[in-house]
Amino acid sequence: MAKQSDGSSIVWAFKTNVTCKNGLSWSDDNRIAMCADDGVFIVELTTNFHLMRGTLIARRTMIHPHSDIFCSTEIFSIDELENQLSREDFNSILLDRTICPNVQYSIPPQGYKSASWSPKGADDVGRCVIACLAIDHRLTLCREDRYRSTWIKIIDCSKVYEGIWKKNNSNYLKTGQITLEYLRTISHAVAAVAMAWSATYEAFPAIIHPADHGLMMQSSTEKNKFSIFASAMKNGDVVFWKVYFPLVSSHDCIYLTTASIHDSIPTSMAWCPTQEDMILAVGYSDGMIKVIRFNLTCGIVSDSEDVWSDPDLISVNALCWQCLDIHQDQWLLFASKDLFIMAFVIDRAKLTCVHMVHVRGQFNLSCTGMSCQSGTLALCASDEKVQLIKASMKDDGLKMDSNLFPVTIDSPVFSLQYIGVALSPNAALLAVVACPACPFDQKQLKEPLMLCITRVSMWPEYPDILQLSEHRVIRDIHDVLLLYLWGLMNDKPLIAPSVLHLLTDMDSWPGLSLTQLRMIRCLLSLDKNTRKLVVMGEHSFDMMHPQLSSSGQSTQSIGSSTTSWSSSNKESLKHLHTLLLFKYIQPYVVNKLLPRLPELDNLEVRIISSIRQWLNARLVHFKRWDSILTTVEKMLSTIENSITTFDEDCPICGELLEDTEVMLVSCSNDHKFGRCCKSFLPCKDIPYRRCSLCSNVAMPLHMIRDVSGLCTSDPHSCSFCEDSLCGTQQMFVLSMSECQDPDPSQFL
C-alpha cells in the first residue's frame, strides 16, 4: 500500500526482505526496479490524470523468482560426491554456495541480487527490457508483455552460457578428476556476478569516425539497432552478448566472446555511454578497477588499462560514468569503495586516467548504493544517509560539490538503514530503499521494506521545463513533468510563471512545439479537485475562475486571456487536442500525401479521406486561431479538388460514420469507434492498439507500417502523450480518454 508521509516524499511498503545492496535501478522510461528476496518489484509512476487524487499514482508489477535453482554442477549428485571426495573437500563443497546453491541457504537462492535496465527502444513497444541477476547467479533478460500485465523471461543467459562454456572446455571436462578444484572451476566460470548494458548502436558502428556520425544516423532503421550486454562471471571472465532490438525471442541475443582479463571476482560493471567507442569499466573484489575497450568489428577486447591498480582489498561497490566535456573526449568514472568515493578522469581515445580525486563520503557506515544521472551523483549508506555530489572540471582540477540530502521516512522503528538509491533520468526525483536497522516486532511491522520517492530539485533551481521541452520528447522529461504534477497536487510553489502563462494563453499555442503542447495537456487535465495552481507562493490561481489572489508580475499575461479561458476548461482541452493532433499529422500530410495526390494507393486514399473528414469536423476549433484556420482551409481545398474521397461506414449497421468527439466517430445507431491516433482511420477491426496511459486507440502496427512516412519515427508511441501503444484484449473500442477511466485495479 502507498502511504504518504508528507508532501515531499511518497513511501510504499513491501512484505519482503532485501539481502543484497545496490539492488535499485531507475530506467530511462521511468520505471523503478527493486531487487528483493521475493522477486523484482517494479514501480512505475504515471502521469495518468484520471487517477490523480492528491498523490502520485504508481503501477506495480513484479518479476517472480525462478521455480528451480540454477546449479551448474547438477550432473553430480551429492551422494556420489560424498563417496568420491575426502571428508574435508566434501564439507567445503557444502559450504560453497556457488558450487552447491541448494543447501545451506537461509534465504531463497532464487531471490534477486541486482537488476539492470537496457536503453529505451529494446522491447516491441519501444520501452526498456531488464536484466535480472538472482542470488543463485542466474542471469535472465525479461520484458513486459504486450498487455503490460506480466513479465516474460526471454532468455536465460546462464543456461545458454553454461552450454557454450562446457562445449569450449570439453577437453578439460573429459580429463578432469572430480575434485573440489574441478567443481569450483566449472561453477565459478558460469556463475554471473555483475552485468551492464551499453548505449544503443546502429548496425556496423565499429569505431565511428566523428565525421561519419551524421551518415550513421541517416541509415538507421529499427532492425539494426542493438546494445552490447556484458556479464561478468565469478572467475573474473567478462562475457559479451549482442542484443538486437526489439528483443522478442532468445534468437535476438547472441553470444560474442569471453575475455579473461583478471582473476578476482568482478563486483561492478558500467559501460561508458559514448557513441564513439565501446568502453567498459569493471571493478573487482580485490579493489582493482579496469577499463576495457571492446572492438565490435573484430568481436574482441582490443585494449585494457588499469584505472586503479592497487589491490587494496576494498571491494568496488559501484561504478558509473559522467560526461565531462562537450566533445565527449573526457569522461568521469566514479567508483564507490566502502567509505570512499573515487573519481577518475578518463581520456576516451587513449584509454588512460589523466586525473584522480579521492574523497571520503559523508557517512560512517559503508556505502550501499550509487546512481549517476544528468551530472548528479547520489550515494546512500547503511547509516540512513543520502549524499549528492556534483562534479565539474575547473582550471585547478576536478571539483566535487557535496551535500547531504535529507530524506524523511515515517517509520515505527527507531532507526533505518538505506540499502539502495536511484536517480530519475533528469535527476528530478530520487528513490531510496530503506529497512529497519535494528530488530523489530514482526507483528507490528508486517511490511518492513520501504521504497521512498522524493523530490531532488525544486523550481527555480531546476532548468526551465520550457527549455527542456523545446528540443526533447515528453518521454525524456517524464520525471520533470511528474515533479510539476506533484507540486500542483501538494499546493507547493512549484509552477514556474512561464509555464502557467502557457496554460492560459491560448493565443500562444500554435507557436509551441509538440512536446510543449503535450506538457500543457498533461497539466491541464488534472483532476478537478487539484486544479488550483500556486505560483512561487506569491500568486494563487484558480483554473475554473481565473483570478489572481494577489497582484504580481504575471498579472497581465494571465489577465489578457481570461475571457477566452473562463468558459470551460473542457472546451480548452478540446481545442488543445485538436491543435496537437493537427500539428502531429501536418508534416505527413504536407510532405508525403499532398505532393503525390494522384498516385496514392488505396490505404493512403482512405487515410487522407479520414483526415479530410476530421479536419472538416474540427473547423469549429481551428477557428480559434486565424493562422491555423487558413492553413487547414488551404489543405482541405487541395484535397477536395484533387481526389475523390472515401466515406467510412459502420461495420455493424452500414450507416456512415461521423465525428462526434475529437478522436471518436459514431454512426446514427450510436456504434462508436475511436480514430487511430497515427492514421486517423476509424479502428473498426480487432485487434487494435491502445495507449497504456491515456487510452487512445491506434491501428495495429502491421496495418499501417508500410504507409511511407506515417510510422517512421516512434511507431509505438501515442500521438497525444507518447506513452506506449500496447495490444488490447478488450473486444470493442468504446471511447477515447475523455470518456473513460482505465481499469483502476491495476493501480495502487
Binding site for Zn ion (CB under 5 A): 650, 652-653, 667, 669, 671, 691, 693-694, 696, 718, 720-721, 723
Q: How far is the CB of 696 from Zn ion (least distance, A)?
A: 5
CB-wise, 242 or 671, nearer to Zn ion? 671
Write phi, then psi, for 271 (nearest 5 degrees).
Answer: -85, 140
In the bound complex, what is the minimum distance in angstroms from residue 467's beta carbon to Zn ion? 24
Whose grid coordinates read 522491447?
123
Q: By C-beta, is 542 or 649 nearer to Zn ion? A: 649
CA atoms of 586 and 635, how far apart (whole Å): 10
Q: Shortest distance, CB of residue 669 to Zn ion, whole angstroms?
A: 4
How is residue 211 written as a grid cell? 565525421
> Are 737 and 694 contacting, i.e. CB atoms less than 8 angstroms apart?
yes
Peptide bond connecting 460 to the previous residue in cis, omega within 30 degrees of 0: yes
Give min distance, CB of 152 to Zn ion, in A: 23
Q: What is the CA radius of gyration of the chain?
A: 28
Measured from the CB of residue 127, what is the shortest distance to Zn ion in angstroms? 14
Smallest gap, in angstroms, from Cβ of residue 676 to Zn ion? Answer: 12
For the beta carbon of residue 84, count every other beta carbon within 10 angstroms: 13
Reported as type and span, the H/E element at residue 702 is helix 701-704
**Cα-Cα-Cα-Cα dihedral sign, residues 546, 548, 554, 559:** positive
Phi–psi pair at 407, nearest 5 degrees: -125, 130
Query: What is d(CA 258, CA 21) in angstroms, rounded to the nearest whole number?
Result: 27
* Count of C-beta atoms within a 10 Å radius of residue 117: 21
Which parts of 209-327 are beta strand (E)? 225-233, 237-245, 253-260, 266-271, 279-284, 289-295, 300-308, 318-323
C-alpha–C-alpha distance, residues 562 and 540, integer Å: 15
- Residue 188 vs 475, nearer CB to Zn ion: 475
In the complex, what is the shortest distance from the CB of residue 732 to Zn ion, in angstroms, rounded to a whole number? Answer: 12
> Is 431 or 721 the residue whose CB approaches Zn ion more closely?
721
Question: Are the beta carbons of 673 and 683 closer than 8 angstroms?
Answer: yes
483 or 691, CB closer to Zn ion?
A: 691
Q: CA–CA distance from 619 to each of 401, 582, 636, 666 (Å)?
A: 55, 11, 11, 18
DSSP code for 592: I
> What's the min distance (Å) between Cβ of 640 and Zn ion?
26
Q: Any idea which residue has 528451480 for its cell?
A: 68
Question: For residues 322-334, b (16+ Cβ closer than 10 Å) or e, as one string?
Answer: bbbeeebebbbbb
Smallest separation (angstroms) from Zn ion to the CB of 2: 23
Q: Which is closer to Zn ion, CB of 500 or CB of 650? A: 650
Residue among 485 and 691 whose Cβ is closer to Zn ion = 691
CB nearer Zn ion, residue 398 or residue 617: 617
The answer to whether 250 and 155 have CB atoms below 8 angstroms apart is yes
Q: Terminus-to-terminus CA distance in the chain, angstroms?
A: 7
H or E element at residue 323? strand 318-323
In DSSP terms, 116 is beta-bridged to: 131
The b/e string for 659-687 (b: 16+ C-beta within 10 A; e otherwise) is bebbbbbbbeeebbbbbbbbbbbbbbeee
β-bridge mates for residue 226, sequence order = 201, 244
**Residue 435 grid cell:** 529497512
Smallest gap, in angstroms, from Cβ of residue 78 to Zn ion? 55
Residue 26 or 49 having the CB closest to Zn ion: 49
Q: Which of 649, 647, 677, 678 is nearest to 664 (CA)?
A: 677
Is the CB of 139 or the CB of 694 nearer to Zn ion? 694
- CA–CA gap between residue 494 and residue 152 (Å, rounded): 39
- The SS3 assignment for 310 reads coil
Taking the complex as a whole, the smallest distance from the CB of residue 569 to Zn ion amounts, in Å, to 19
Q: How far, in Å, are 126, 479, 726, 746 from residue 147 at the CA level?
A: 14, 23, 6, 12
The residue among 599 and 743 lying less far from Zn ion, judged by its C-beta, is 743
The nearer residue to Zn ion, 267 or 666, going by C-beta atoms, is 666
Half-sphere exposure of 628 (CA within 13 A, CB side): 25
Instruction: Give the shortest CB-657-to-Zn ion separation in angstroms.
Output: 8
Contact 425, 378 (CB under 8 A): no
Report in angstroms how near the CB of residue 737 gets to Zn ion at its nearest: 7
Q: Nearest distance from residue 648's CB to Zn ion, in Å?
A: 11
Give the integer Cα–Cα distance in Å for 174 and 453.
53
Q: Which is nearer to Zn ion, 180 or 485 (CB)?
A: 485
Q: Between 157 and 693, whose beta carbon lies closer to Zn ion?
A: 693
CB of residue 718 to Zn ion, shortest distance in Å? 3
Residue closer to Zn ion by CB (options 32, 650) is 650
Q: Which is nearer to Zn ion, 620 or 652 (CB)?
A: 652
Residue 117, strand partner residues? 130
Whether residue 694 contacts residue 48, with contact meaning beta carbons closer than 8 Å, is answered with: yes
Q: How many CB atoms lie within 10 A of CB 208?
A: 17
For Zn ion, the closer of residues 21 and 689 by Cβ is 689
Q: Of the candidates 58, 30, 194, 113, which has an alpha carbon nearest to the alpha carbon of residue 420?
A: 113
Helix (H) or strand (E) holding 258: strand 253-260
